[in-house]
Amino acid sequence: MIKLMQGNEACAYGALAAGVRFFGGYPITPSTEIAEIMSVELPKRGGVFIQMEDEIASMASIIGASIGGLKSMTSTSGPGFSLMQENIGYGVITETPCVVVNVMRGGPSTGLPTMPSQSDIMQARWGTHGDHPIIATYPHTIPEIYYETIRSVYLAEKYRIPVILLLDEVIGHMREKIDLPDENTIEKFKRIVPEVPNEWFFPFERNHTNIPPLVEFGQGYRYHITGLIHDVDGFPTSKPNQINAFMKRLFRKINNNLDDILKWEEYMLDDAEYMIFAAGCTARTAKASIDTLRKEHGVKIGLLRPVTIWPFIEKVLLEKSKNMKKIFVPEMNMGQLSLEVEKVIAEKVPVIKYNKINGEVIYPSELTKFIMEVK
């Protein structure tokens, strides 16, 4: 079924198609449409929508709902995302699958509520304290929002981890054509459950996958959940060997599965001498600029776009940048993606930043002009 759909709308319907049946959230510009749609559609599908008193409670509610057996999601923007960070950390250490949608706007503080920004990229990775893995995805079109929302739910459920879905305000509110599949044709990830009796069950066991089976409350298994570092029984531990084993397992379950988690797009890179590294709406700008640079100026330039923004596509970037003269990193912040690119490239190729922070998107004409001036 072909529809003209808004980005936030595509996110909501993607979540529903993926089997999300609980949404706990608090309205905040520019993500409110997601909550509005979920409030109408979830009851039709036997799901539950709750408007919580704030974003702290919203994050807590989706963790609780997930442990209770429902695929769960919330949506927010910068200030609300900040409030969620402590409970995101709790979701990481308790290995609770859930999805957090952050429709980015300018900050800090109240900042620019109705204007686009890409200033939460690093917060998505490092917003909560302590060493921890995280998965974050970053679509750049309305159809991609729909399918990346589905994939985010899949990744959360498979790897028992909160997944951050980053959207740009301008894409969340724009409309594009999308060919929607029948929801019934979307494969739903089924949680892995234990195959042993209760007395043999270890809720945080170490196994060959590094991912313990997830038992929902009420299934007859007794176990303990805590935000403290815990042993395989789920109870707090201060034993160095158990702490070490637990923390390393949290990272292994992500790092050992990068082939499944990482996703990226290459655009006109085959013969490129210059590369643009960009994500979200700025990648759309980059594609238009690349078309102009090639057609009108004869510049051999291409785009590498991370769809999975965290973990970072380090090996891909290293491989694709080998023969590049320069790498351009345009972004709507003071330089966040560029820091990661510089860290990976380690001075092998010059990294040229282009930053815009005035609440406007980067336009193809200005990016084209900048590249022509400094290439």
Residue at a domain's end among 185, 217, 240: 185
Residue 308: C-alpha distances to residues 95, 281, 350, 372 (Å): 20, 15, 24, 29
Residues 255-278: pLDDT tens digits?
999 999 999 999 999 999 999 999
Q: 45 pLDDT exceeds 90? A: yes
Number of domains in the chain: 2
Per-residue DSSP letter, 347: T
Per-residue DSSP letter, 94: T
Report yes or no on 175 lying in a domain. yes
Q: Which of 37, 38, 40, 44 is nearest to 22 (CA)?
A: 38
CA 309 remoteness from chain centre: 7
What CA–CA distance (Å, rounded) separates 96 from 40? 26
Domain range for 323: 265-374
Residues 272, 179, single domain; the answer is no
Report yes or no on 245 lying in a domain. no
- Average pLDDT value for the chain: 96
Residue 57: C-alpha distances to residues 52, 54, 80, 209 (Å): 6, 6, 11, 32
What CA–CA distance (Å, rounded) separates 258 from 311? 8
Residues 173, 298, single domain; the answer is no
> What three-state secondary structure class fits 325?
coil
Residues 119-170: pLDDT tens digits?
999 999 999 999 999 999 999 999 999 999 999 999 999 999 999 999 999 9
Report yes or no on 237 lying in a domain. no
CA 293 remoteness from chain centre: 31
- CATH of residue 171's domain is 3.40.50.970
CA 329 remoteness from chain centre: 20
Q: Which of 237, 368, 362 is nearest to 292 (CA)?
A: 368
Question: What is the structure's pLDDT at 347?
Answer: 87
Q: 375 pLDDT exceeds 90? A: no
Residues 46, 176, single domain; the answer is yes
Q: Cβ contacts of residue 179 below 8 Å, gap of 6+? A: 1, 2, 143
Residue at a domain's end among 155, 185, 215: 185
What CA–CA distance (Å, rounded) separates 157 from 352? 38
Residues 195-247: pLDDT tens digits?
888 888 899 999 999 999 998 888 888 889 999 999 999 999 999 999 999 99
Question: What is the structure's pLDDT at 195?
Answer: 84
Residues 86, 174, single domain; the answer is yes
